[in-house]
Amino acid sequence: MKITVNDTLLELHSGATVKDALLSYYARSGRKLPGRLPTVEDRFGNIVAPDGALSEGNCLIIRSERKRKTSAARSVIVLLASAILFGCSSTRQTATSHSNEKPDVTAVAPPSGIAASPERQAVIFSVNDMHAAIDNFPKLAWIVDSLRSVYPDLLLVAAGDNQTGNPVNDQFPEKGFPVIDLMNAVGFNLSAVGNHEFDTGPEGFGNLISKADFSFICANVSGGGRHPLKIDPYKIITLPNGLKVAFLGLLQLGQNGIPDSHPDNVRDFVFRSPLRAAPEFLWLKDSSDVFIALTHIGFEEDVKLAETMPPGIDLIIGGHSHTRVDREQVHNGILITQADSKLKFGTLIRLKVDAAGRVSSSMQLIDIRNSKKERPEIRAMVDRYNDNPVLNQVIATATDDFSSSEELGYLMADGQRAAAGADIALMNPGGVRIDRLPKGPVTIKNVYQLDPFGNELVVTKLTGSEIFSLLRAAWSADRKSPLFTSGITTETRVNDHGEPEEITVHTDDGKPLDLNHVYSVAMNSYMTQVYRYEHADPGQSLFLTTAQALIGYLKQEGNIKSYRGEKRVRVTR
Ligand SMILES: [Zn+2]
């Protein structure tokens, strides 16, 4: 997909993140990515997190020099005081402009059960892209409790991607359950379906939905074959003050027409364009007092939704691009929010509906990460999850010692090739982080020690001659040594300066690599972004980290064969 960084057009593998774009941008200008990543903004001036997902045509701007002030409150005390003094940013009636209303100090919610004051309000706290950051849940719980003491009818919603990003959750025996358990305990009302919700597989996701005390909504997914999921397109929640609040769920699709998850996870489902599905639910505005799109399509797509949808939506609560909306973003009269990722922030949103049914909305970004307080029961739950032996779980047995990073590099390449179903896998030596693994049980922790980076597995279609170009580029980019391989063997003759003079490559059947044949080649996302080599296909992420790929492979193998003395790559002078 095409992404612009500071006016430089880059072609990235589909499924690339903001960090991938930075890697590619710096590699192109011959510089190394700084240890401390620069601050990146989107075209609307919002900060985007390095792990934010990108969509075709996104623009990024690096403005590390510019200091930014965040408007997030330092403490909930400040938060609560200022929550009462909200400004107004958009109204249903004046759809193309928004004006600031006078502060309304009487706006604290009336006690539950008292209906029909001339002006009623709905208060929402939203988070998105939690990515299993369970360690921030105790702080989230404390903030939510504090808000509920002021707004007893507070709605708590997630804009998708609750899953994936923390082995304690992702590798839990009941994959992904810790996050759901914690969301139940904190009292979530609703979640959009994010692309990473599918990472637990159709059966796994179905199981998690059945365990959740809240609903998942998504209007552009259907089907599910043997595993139909209990997902509604929308949900209308009636508040004790009588307000009907409608939420419509929307999910992003990648260039291949499916959400960004491993294709096996979404095989049985039918997906439709979120922007095409949304207008079909416009009638919801007549069945509710407030109509909210709870989306997981990325900020730039949310802007498109606001600009193309016929009038009716009052608010868009978004996710997926990990955008930190810290000032009000109003497009076509519609407020759009998003709160970074991994529970660093949440957004407090207040909607007021006057006697004539006019809706006005306002938002405030709340800093969760720096909260000093926690809810003790939730802390205890998180500690229990962190304490459990997930990472010590034995997934396979090594039948022999591994005594070099080369032997382990071949194992990693074999795992990636199998997980991707590719002809060839290539692994950079710099990505192999241990050089010994004793014979005996192999744990999940061993895999994360071997491969701690969280790079994704990418498959590219490359001709033989493009593979040669890749092998040459990798030589200088990675320690002046050959890539570890699976599916091919290489012999590199180097000159006196240590540069490759001639590379010969054979496939596993002993034939020379065919320059014109197209091979499927698996490698990690770092390699696809950093190596400068000739290739037509930018590749496709499998939305699986290389560590997860290896865990799956080892579980399947059970007994790991001996790699002692294995020699797939040779260097001669
Ligand atoms: Zn996402």
**Helix-, strand-, coil-residue percentages of the chain, each rounded to 5:** 30, 30, 45
Dist. CA 161 → ligand 1 center (Å): 5
Dist. CA 393 → ligand 1 center (Å): 28
pLDDT at 571 over 80: yes
CATH assignment of 90-102+120-386, given 3.60.21.10, 3.40.1180.10, 3.90.1150.10, 3.40.50.150?
A: 3.60.21.10
**Average model confidence (pLDDT) across the chain:** 89
Dist. CA 179 → ligand 1 center (Å): 16
Question: Which is more confidently placed, 285 or 29?
Answer: 285
- Residue 378's SS3 state is helix
Q: How many CA atoms lie within 13 A of 508 on its CB side?
A: 8
- C-beta of residue 320 within 8 angstroms of C-beta of residue 293: no
Q: State the pLDDT at residue 312.
A: 92
What letter would DSSP give residue 429? G
- pLDDT bucket at 389, cuts 50 / 70 / 90: confident
Average pLDDT for 552-556: 97
Dist. CA 505 → ligand 1 center (Å): 39
Which of 107-116, 226-235, 247-256, 480-489 comes out lowest in average pLDDT?
107-116
The terminus-to-terminus CA distance of the chain in angstroms comes to 40
What are the residue ranges of CATH 3.60.21.10 in the chain? Answer: 90-102+120-386
Closest to 349 in 3D by CA, of 123, 95, 50:
123
Q: State the pLDDT at residue 117.
A: 55
- C-beta of residue 426 within 8 angstroms of C-beta of residue 521: yes
pLDDT digits (tens, 9 = 90+) for 515-537: 999 999 999 998 998 888 999 99
Q: What CA–CA distances, in Å, run from 138 to 32, 237, 379, 382, 390?
A: 37, 26, 5, 8, 21
- Residue 493's SS3 state is strand
What are the residue ranges of CATH 3.90.780.10 in the chain? Answer: 394-572
Dist. CA 262 → ligand 1 center (Å): 13
pLDDT digits (tens, 9 = 90+) for 328-376: 999 999 999 999 999 999 999 999 999 999 999 999 999 999 999 999 9
What percentage of the chain reaches a pLDDT higher than 70?
90
| Joined tokens for residue 28 | 């192109």
pLDDT at 279 over 60: yes
Dist. CA 405 → ligand 1 center (Å): 34
Dist. CA 218 → ligand 1 center (Å): 14
Question: Which is more confidently placed, 28 or 195?
Answer: 195
Q: State the pLDDT at residue 33.
A: 79
* Topology given in CATH for the domain delimited by 394-572: 5'-nucleotidase;  domain 2 (3.90.780)
Mention the CATH class of domain 2-65. alpha beta
Q: State the pLDDT at residue 64.
A: 67
Dist. CA 236 → ligand 1 center (Å): 24
474 exposed, middle or buried (CB, 10 Å; 0-12, 13-18, 19+)? buried
Question: Which is more confidently placed, 159 or 530?
Answer: 159
pLDDT at 325 over 70: yes
Average pLDDT for 143-154: 97
Dist. CA 91 → ligand 1 center (Å): 29
Dist. CA 129 → ligand 1 center (Å): 7
pLDDT digits (tens, 9 = 90+) for 68-121: 444 443 444 445 544 444 433 334 433 333 433 333 323 334 444 444 458 999
Closest to 364 in 3D by CA, of 395, 329, 394:
329
Q: State the pLDDT at residue 436.
A: 93
Question: Which is more confidently placed, 478 or 468?
Answer: 468
Q: State the pLDDT at residue 479.
A: 66
What are the residue ranges of CATH 3.10.20.30 in the chain? Answer: 2-65
Q: State the pLDDT at residue 278.
A: 97
Q: State the pLDDT at residue 31.
A: 82
pLDDT at 67 over 60: no
Q: State the pLDDT at residue 171.
A: 87
Dist. CA 321 → ligand 1 center (Å): 7
Average pLDDT for 472-479: 82
Dist. CA 53 → ligand 1 center (Å): 6
Burial readout 196-226 (b: 16 or more C-beta within 10 A, e: otherwise): bbbbbbbebbbbbbeebebbbbbbbbeebee
Stated pTM of the model? 0.84
